[in-house]
């Protein structure tokens, strides 16, 4: 198995480390910019090679690729790989702009190309349980979703200058709306397609960043429902939660504290705790294991390209709604 990595920042290194745990015999190459050609321990540990040119990378004939470069470069990399018929795992979001998304989707469909978008919260057991409760009607008809995530940006990547990070730089596709697109993806997956979106966003903190540090997003869905999503990189500590309210009950997921509850009038609360040994890497490990089964033809992608594009379009529409100070129809 030959795996090509496009970018080896923190996300790419994690994917590489977990791939080698699952497939120690995999051959690895990394396509990296000249500015980022310094040694990477994870690449050296698996005797991987560094490449600097696309022709060289595609001539290597990889079995699949992992795209983990800056968001602003995702679409170009994905298009090149799709044209060459190389399946890929693509870090979220799919792109930093609308142009080219339809063409990429059509190209992938025409080639029946396996694509998995890296929205790892879909691989958390609490998400699977939420899906099950909704499918069995435990909440009745879902009416409202409220999601919130925040953490002080300098704490995201300890030891790195946050001001140089993708998150802080709009030209790289940064800002909380695209960087924290997970919650928008969950809103779509759990509540249905979005019909409209409104958003207020901007720079409200003392952080030295040009991209937005706070966003409040409201969506309408079909079937009729509302979702409210709060995103920030200014909150001290770490917080992530999601609540769904239905006609017959509610589900509350506190990701940070590690529990999920089902609450219904007249019934005992059902509480499910994360396993005692649960840690964040397990979502990414499950995601990589799932990707390998997709490549083997044994499963369909849990988050395919069309779903990844839908979340990306919603994020971009939210940014447009904030800029134009209006509700954007989808």
- Alpha-carbon span 25 to 37, nearest angstrom: 24
- Alpha-carbon span 73 to 222, nearest angstrom: 32
Q: How many alpha carbons lie under 13 Å from residue 71 in its C-beta half-sphere?
A: 29
DSSP line for 24-66: TT-EEEEE--GGG-S--HHHHHTT-EEE--HHHHHHT--SEEE
pLDDT for res 36: 46
pLDDT for res 38: 54
pLDDT for res 41: 85
Strands laid side by side in the 2-6 sheet: 49-51, 27-31, 2-6, 64-67, 88-91, 115-118
pLDDT for res 91: 97
pLDDT, tens digit (0-9, with 9 covering 90-100), for 32-42: 875 444 568 88
- Alpha-carbon span 259 to 273, nearest angstrom: 4
pLDDT for res 35: 46
Does an H or E element contain 4, and which?
A: strand 2-6
Which stretches in the chain have pLDDT values below 70? 34-39
pLDDT, tens digit (0-9, with 9 covering 90-100), for 145-184: 999 999 999 999 888 899 999 999 999 999 999 999 999 9
Which domains does the chain carry? Answer: 2-120 (3.40.50.720), 121-295+303-329 (3.30.360.10)
Q: Are 115 and 305 in contact (CB under 8 A)?
A: yes
């Amino acid at each position: 198995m030959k795996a090509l990595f496009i970018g080896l920042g923190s996300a790419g290194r994690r994917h590489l480390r977990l791939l080698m745990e699952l497939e120690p015999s995999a051959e690895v190459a990394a396509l990296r910019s000249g500015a980022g050609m310094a040694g990477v321990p994870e690449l050296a540990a698996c005797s991987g090679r560094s490449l600097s040119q696309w022709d060289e990378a595609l001539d290597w004939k990889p079995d699949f690729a992992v795209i983990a470069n800056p968001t602003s470069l995702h679409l170009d990399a994905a298009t090149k790989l799709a044209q060459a018929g190389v399946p890929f795992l693509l870090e979220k979001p799919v792109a930093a702009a609308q142009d080219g998304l339809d063409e990429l989707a059509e190209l992938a469909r025409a080639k029946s190309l396996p694509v998995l978008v890296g929205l790892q919260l879909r691989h958390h057991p609490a998400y699977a349980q939420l899906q099950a409760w909704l499918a069995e009607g435990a909440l009745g008809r879902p009416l409202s979703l409220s999601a919130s995530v925040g953490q002080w940006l300098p704490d995201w990547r300890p030891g790195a200058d946050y001001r140089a990070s993708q998150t802080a730089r709009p030209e790289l596709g940064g800002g909380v709306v695209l960087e924290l697109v997970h919650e928008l993806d969950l809103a779509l997956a759990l509540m249905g397609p979005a019909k409209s979106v409104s958003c207020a966003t901007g720079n409200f903190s003392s952080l030295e960043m040009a991209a937005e540090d706070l966003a409040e997003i409201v969506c309408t869905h079909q079937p009729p429902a509302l979702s409210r999503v709060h995103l920030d990189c200014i909150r001290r500590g770490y917080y992530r939660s999601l609540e769904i309210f239905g006609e017959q009950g509610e589900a509350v997921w506190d990701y940070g504290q590690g529990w999920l509850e089902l609450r219904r009038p007249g019934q005992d609360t059902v509480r499910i705790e994360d396993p005692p040994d649960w840690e964040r890497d397990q979502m990414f490990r499950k995601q990589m294991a799932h990707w390998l089964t997709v490549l083997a033809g044994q499963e369909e992608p849990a988050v395919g390209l069309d779903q990844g594009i839908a979340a990306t379009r919603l994020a971009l529409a939210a940014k447009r709604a904030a800029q134009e100070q209006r509700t954007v129809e989808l």
